[in-house]
């Protein structure tokens, strides 16, 4: 699938994904959304971990409805869309086993009809995918404009990140990936981790990896996440908060060198077509 699109202003759709669980993905998505909103962006989060949705917990909200209710045609999208912080909106994923590939034609059409009502009112959409390489994860990543993989220095995380990139490259023809190095000592350590992953990818795959930033291993961040709080809100001066702010600046100002697939509507159409 080639990345393409027209040059008009549109929602930028970024999937945040990982090869294994426990790498800080949901915490990064939630804090990044908060920082982007502080920068004046309107942000939409799709909790795409459709079995273990937990972005709502990070913002301390309990949504009444989830994406499942939209798909079943029971509610409209404006009833599901939850404002979790100023200029940050969430489409909750909802717990419970659910597979996109099990959607009927009617359910796919219902989803498309509903999400088209979102219009172009958002600058950025962040998708928090489940970890791993199941079909739901592949669909969400392939439908996004940009795929951002989170990797930590753990050997298992490096191996699983490579496996995810390899599957997305071979099965979905994806060739470009952004990399965030999490839980590193410092920027130099992050650069070293990126070089390790990039080295293996360059040797065996035809892909292009871009190191968009590093987040230090910060006890304040770990403590906030355990307490189900957002470090950027409770400790804006923490090392990790400053690193996430830097990341937000990068995402805000950074335009990929290649032309992207279209915006929000294109994402949903792709998602339904892939499933």
User: For residues 188 and 158, what is the distance between their CA atoms, to the nearest angstrom?
Assistant: 17
Q: Band of the pLDDT at 157, cuts 50, 70, 90?
A: very high
Q: Is residue 198 part of a domain?
A: yes
Does the pLDDT of residue 114 top 70, yes or no? Answer: yes
**Range with the lowest mean pLDDT among 59-63, 146-150, 192-196?**
59-63
Residue 121 confidence (pLDDT)? 86
Q: How many CB atoms lie within 10 A of CB 267?
A: 23
Q: 239: which residues sit within 8 A by CB, 6+ positions away? A: 216, 218, 220
Residue 60 phi, psi dihedral angles, 5° rounding = 70, 35
Structural domains of the chain, count: 1
Q: Is residue 2 part of a domain?
A: no
Does the pLDDT of residue 258 top 80, yes or no? Answer: no
Q: Is residue 144 part of a domain?
A: yes
Residue 6 confidence (pLDDT)? 32
Mean pLDDT of the 123-133 span: 92
CATH number at residue 85: 3.40.50.300
Q: What's the pTM? A: 0.91
Q: Band of the pLDDT at 199, cuts 50, 70, 90?
A: very high
Residue 255 confidence (pLDDT)? 55
pLDDT digits (tens, 9 = 90+) for 69-78: 888 889 999 9
Q: Is residue 3 part of a domain?
A: no
Residue 251 confidence (pLDDT)? 84
Q: Which of 98-102, 164-168, 225-229 has the highest mean pLDDT?
A: 164-168
Q: Band of the pLDDT at 214, cuts 50, 70, 90?
A: very high
Parallel, antiparallel or unpaired: strands 124-129 and 43-48 = parallel
Q: Is residue 225 part of a domain?
A: yes
Residue 274 confidence (pLDDT)? 86
Does the pLDDT of residue 247 top 50, yes or no? Answer: yes
Per cent of the chain over pLDDT 70 is 89
Nearest to 139 by CA among 48, 265, 11: 48
Domain of 44 in residue numbering reads as: 12-270
| More confident: 273 or 30 | 30
Q: Is residue 193 part of a domain?
A: yes
Q: Is residue 4 part of a domain?
A: no
Residue 102 confidence (pLDDT)? 81
Q: Is residue 1 part of a domain?
A: no
| More confident: 252 or 152 | 152
């Amino acid at each position: 699938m080639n990345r393409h699109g027209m040059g008009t202003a549109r929602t930028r759709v970024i999937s945040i994904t990982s090869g294994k669980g426990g790498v800080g993905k949901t915490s990064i998505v939630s804090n990044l959304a908060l920082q982007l909103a502080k920068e004046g962006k309107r942000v939409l989060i799709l909790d795409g971990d459709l079995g273990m949705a937990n972005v709502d917990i990070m913002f301390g909200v309990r949504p009444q409805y989830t994406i499942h209710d939209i798909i079943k045609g029971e509610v409209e999208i404006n009833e599901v869309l939850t404002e979790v912080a100023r200029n940050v909106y969430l489409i909750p994923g909802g717990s419970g086993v659910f597979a996109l590939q099990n959607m009927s034609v009617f359910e796919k059409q219902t989803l498309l009809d509903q999400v088209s009502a979102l219009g172009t009112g958002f600058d950025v959409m962040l998708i928090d995918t489940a970890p791993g390489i199941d079909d739901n994860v592949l669909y969400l990543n392939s439908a996004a404009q940009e795929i951002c993989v989170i990797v930590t220095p753990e050997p298992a995380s490096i191996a699983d990140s490579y496996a995810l990139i390899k599957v997305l490259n071979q099965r979905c023809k994806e060739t470009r990936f952004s990399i965030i190095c999490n839980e590193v000592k410092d920027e130099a350590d992050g650069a070293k981790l990126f070089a390790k992953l990039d080295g293996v990818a360059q040797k065996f795959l035809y892909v292009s990896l871009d190191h968009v930033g590093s987040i230090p291993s910060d006890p304040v961040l770990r403590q906030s996440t355990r307490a189900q709080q957002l470090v950027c809100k409770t400790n804006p001066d923490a090392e990790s908060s400053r690193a996430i702010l830097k990341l937000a600046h990068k995402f805000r100002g950074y335009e990929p060198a290649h032309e992207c697939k279209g915006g929000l509507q294109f994402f949903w159409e792709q998602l339904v077509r892939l499933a």
